[in-house]
Amino acid sequence: MQELIIFWKKLKSYFIPQQLLIRLALGSESQGYKDLKKQIVEYLTGEDSIRNSAVINFLRNNPMHIFPYPFIYKYKPINVVVKFNQGFPYVVYEGKKLFFKKNMNKMQVMHAMNNLLIEQDEESAHHYYSFCRKSKYGVIIDCGAAEGIFALKYIHLCEKMIIIETDPEWIAALQMTFSEYDRKVSIIGKYVGERNDSHNITLDTIIGQENVSLIKVDVDGSEEGLFNGLKNSLTSNKIDQILLCVYHDVDDYQKYSSLLGAYGFNVETHLNKMIFLYGNHLREPFLTNGVVNFYKA
């Protein structure tokens, strides 16, 4: 049955025009999303119809999407090649094997990897790589690594990679991905916060006396505790750069720009924005920054 589904998706990909696929998707869109799109378009039009024109036009002509820009159509799950090793599914990403959870089937990995490629497109508000301009890094810390695509991207450019992830299934996949880099990679299976115990650890504890080139933070709304446990390192100027996901709440950008600005960090954002559709924080102004670059000059 799964092979038939993949075959049908391949047929659609090759023979049905993109605009027809979009219309089919629009026809199946839930009434809730249709109402939400109408609400967002009305707000963005009144707020600044010229500045928001790209998003307004997308929402009027496409299904709702977290990245409301046409670039998302460059990617199709059917183009993702999935292989298996020791029961773990993986894809080859920039010449390196990126493993996924062992219990994920081929179709799930195809969609997951496709979403990652959309997320890391240069036009995406969630694009990390455009903020990483050095040819060499010292210590990199990846907080909230999940499958580890960011850490894998920069594994050859750093002296040491510290990966933090609490999901045991992701940890098993990470161990497969980074097995050949074990001399420079440490995987910590604790929550990063403001205390140290059997399940939690602070970034100050992890960093110790080291200087850190870059910290990537995607911790699903737990940023406040993370920064409470980072105060000593921030005060001691041990950190050069922080890539922070600020879309879990529409107030996060202002909140953490103020916090890190007090420690001397400059701020850089993407031109494009996101509509974060998950959780309970979707409200005006609806559009939010994705990944924000905080850096020392």
The phi and psi torsions of 147 (rounded to 5 degrees) equal -75, -20
- The reply to whether 38 and 179 lie within a common domain is no
Please report whether residue 95 resides in a domain.
Answer: no
Output b/e per residue, 228-262; b: 16+ Cβ within 10 A.
Answer: ebbeebbeeebbbbbbbbbbbbbebbeebbeebee
- The reply to whether 284 and 154 lie within a common domain is yes
- The reply to whether 56 and 189 lie within a common domain is no
State how far the Cα of 168 lies from the Cα of 162, in Å rounded to an integer: 16
Last residue of a domain, one of 46, 64, 82: 64
Q: For the sheet with 83-85, list strands across it.
A: 83-85, 88-93, 96-99
- The reply to whether 152 and 229 lie within a common domain is yes
Please report whether residue 54 resides in a domain.
Answer: yes
Which residue would you say has higher pLDDT here, 67 or 13? 67
Stretch 277-297: mean pLDDT: 88
- The reply to whether 43 and 146 lie within a common domain is no
Last residue of a domain, one of 64, 87, 114: 64
Among 102, 101, 144, which residue's Cα sits nearest to residue 248?
144
- The reply to whether 59 and 136 lie within a common domain is no
Beta strand 200-201 pairing with 214-217: unpaired
The phi and psi torsions of 200 (rounded to 5 degrees) equal -130, 155
- The reply to whether 30 and 156 lie within a common domain is no
State how far the Cα of 117 lies from the Cα of 177, in Å rounded to an integer: 18
Instruction: Dump strand ranges (E) for 86-240.
Output: 88-93, 96-99, 137-143, 158-164, 185-188, 191-192, 200-201, 214-217
The pLDDT value recorded for residue 138 is 97
- The reply to whether 223 and 142 lie within a common domain is yes
Please report whether residue 285 resides in a domain.
Answer: yes
pLDDT tens digits, residue range 96-136? 999 999 999 999 999 999 999 999 999 999 999 999 999 99
pLDDT tens digits, residue range 10-24? 444 444 445 544 454
Which residues form the domain of 34? 2-64
The pLDDT value recorded for residue 8 is 42
Contact between 267 and 293 under an 8 Å Cβ cutoff? The reply is yes
Contact between 248 and 221 under an 8 Å Cβ cutoff? The reply is yes
141 pLDDT more than 50: yes
**Which CATH number fits the domain that encloses residue 273?**
3.40.50.150
DSSP 8-state symbol, 81: -
pLDDT tens digits, residue range 204-261? 999 999 999 999 999 988 999 999 999 999 999 999 999 999 998 888 999 999 999 9
Integer angstrom CA distances of residue 172 from 87, 104, 144: 11, 13, 14
Structure tokens at 209: 């006396």
Output b/e per residue, 71-102; b: 16+ Cβ within 10 A.
Answer: ebeebbbbebebeeeeebbbbebeebbbbbbe
Last residue of a domain, one of 16, 32, 64: 64
What is the number of domains present in the chain?
2
- The reply to whether 138 and 255 lie within a common domain is yes
* 7 — pLDDT class (breaks 50, 70, 90): very low
pLDDT tens digits, residue range 175-204? 999 999 989 999 999 999 999 999 999 999
Full-model pTM: 0.89
